[in-house]
Structure 1
Amino acid sequence: MSKEMIEALDALETEKGVKKEIVIDALETALQTAYKRNYNQAQNVEVTFDAKKGDIKVYAVKEVTGEVFDSRLEVSLKDAMAINKAYEIGDHIKFEVTPKDFGRIAAQTAKQVIMQRVREAERANVYDEYSQYENEIMQGTVERKDNKFVYVSLGKVEAVMPRSDQMQREDYKMHDRIKVYVSKVENATKGPQVFVSRTNPGMVKRLFEQEVPEIYDGTVEIVGVAREAGDRSKVAVRSTNENVDAVGTTVGPRGARVQAVVNELAGENMDIVQWEDDASDYIANALNPAEVIAVQFNDEDNERSATVIVPDYQLSLAIGKKGQNARLAAKLTGFKIDIKPESEVEFVDDDELTAEDVAEETDVAADDAVATDDVAADVTPDVDDTDDAEATADATPTDD
Structure 2
Amino acid sequence: MDKEFVQTLQMIARERDISETELIAEAEEALAAAYKKHVGATGDVTVRIDTEKGSLHAICEKEVVGHVTNGFFQMSLEDARKKDPKAEIGDFIPVEIAPESFGRIAAQTFKQVLQQRLREAERKRTLELFSERQGDVVSAVVTRREGPDVILQAGRSECLLRREDQVRNEPYRINDRIRVYVRGVEETRRGPRVRVSRRADELLAKLFEMEVPEIEQGTVEIKGVAREPGVRSKITVVSHDERVDAVGACVGQRGARVQAIVNELYDEKIDIIPYSDDVSAFIAGALSPAKVSSVRLNKVEKRADVIVPDSQLSLAIGKGGVNARLAHKLTGWNIDIRSESQVAEEGGNAQA
Please say whether Structure 1 and Structure 2 have the same fold, judged by a TM-score greater than 0.5: yes
185 and 221 in structure 1: CA distance in 2 versus 1, 3 angstrom threshold: same
> Which has the higher mean CA deviation after the structures are superposed, 261-270 or 179-188?
179-188
386 and 24 in structure 1: CA distance in 2 versus 1, 3 angstrom threshold: farther
Match of 1:40 in 2: 42
Query: What letter matches 1:7 in structure 2?
Result: Q
Match of 2:298 in 1: 297
Match of 1:218 in 2: 218
Q: Is the 8 A contact 1:35 1:41 kept in 2?
A: no
107 and 330 in structure 1: CA distance in 2 versus 1, 3 angstrom threshold: same
Match of 1:274 in 2: 274
Counterparts of 2:227 and 2:261 in 1: how far apart (Å)? 13
What is the CA distance between 1:229 and its match in structure 2? 1.9
Match of 1:142 in 2: 142
Of 323, 326, 349, which aligns to 2:324?
Answer: 326
What is the CA distance between 1:115 and its match in structure 2? 3.7
Counterparts of 1:39 and 1:284 in 2: how far apart (Å)? 84
Counterparts of 1:15 and 1:236 in 2: how far apart (Å)? 45
Q: Is the 8 A contact 2:293 2:309 kept in 1?
A: no
58 and 128 in structure 1: CA distance in 2 versus 1, 3 angstrom threshold: farther
Match of 1:309 in 2: 306
Counterparts of 1:223 and 1:52 in 2: how far apart (Å)? 62
298 and 277 in structure 1: CA distance in 2 versus 1, 3 angstrom threshold: closer
Counterparts of 1:116 and 1:233 in 2: how far apart (Å)? 45
> Which has the higher mean CA deviation after the structures are superposed, 215-224 or 180-189?
180-189
Query: What letter matches 1:308 in structure 2?
Result: D
Counterparts of 1:275 and 1:102 in 2: how far apart (Å)? 79
Report the secondary structure of 2:276's partner residue.
coil
Match of 2:350 in 1: 385
What is the CA distance between 1:100 and its match in structure 2? 0.9
Query: What letter matches 2:266 in structure 1?
Result: A
Counterparts of 1:40 and 1:102 in 2: how far apart (Å)? 18
Q: Is the 8 A contact 1:306 1:338 kept in 2?
A: yes
1:285-305 CA deviation, whole Å, 9 max, x = no partner? 222233152341342x5xxx3
What is the CA distance between 1:226 and its match in structure 2? 1.0
What is the CA distance between 1:204 and its match in structure 2? 1.9
Query: What letter matches 1:116 in structure 2?
Result: Q
Counterparts of 1:283 and 1:129 in 2: how far apart (Å)? 41
Greater C-alpha radius of gyration: 1
Q: Is the 8 A contact 1:127 1:187 kept in 2?
A: no
Matches within 5 A, 1:325-344: 325-340=323-338
Counterparts of 2:343 and 2:46 in 1: how far apart (Å)? 87
1:15-73 CA deviation, whole Å, 9 max, x = no partner? 4332313313423543565587654348xx9877666566657799xxxxxxxxxxxxx
Report the secondary structure of 1:100's partner residue.
strand
Report the secondary structure of 1:291's partner residue.
coil
52 and 294 in structure 1: CA distance in 2 versus 1, 3 angstrom threshold: same
Q: Is the 8 A contact 1:309 1:345 kept in 2?
A: no
Counterparts of 1:24 and 1:324 in 2: how far apart (Å)? 61
Report the secondary structure of 1:193's partner residue.
strand
Match of 1:154 in 2: 154
Counterparts of 1:197 and 1:7 in 2: how far apart (Å)? 41
Matches within 5 A, 1:164-179: 164-179=164-179
Matches within 5 A, 1:1-400: 1=1, 3=3, 6-30=6-30, 33=33, 39-41=41-43, 99-101=95-97, 104=101, 107=106, 110-111=109-110, 112-113=112-113, 115-145=115-145, 148-289=148-289, 290-291=291-292, 293-299=294-300, 301=301, 305-311=302-308, 313=310, 314-340=312-338, 384-385=349-350
Identity %: 42
Counterparts of 2:273 and 2:191 in 1: how far apart (Å)? 42
Counterparts of 1:177 and 1:115 in 2: how far apart (Å)? 28
Report the secondary structure of 1:139's partner residue.
strand
Q: Is the 8 A contact 1:141 1:152 kept in 2?
A: yes
Q: Is the 8 A contact 1:295 1:308 kept in 2?
A: yes
Counterparts of 1:306 and 1:59 in 2: how far apart (Å)? 84
Q: What value does the CA root-mean-square deviation take over the aligned residues?
A: 3.9
Report the secondary structure of 2:96's partner residue.
coil
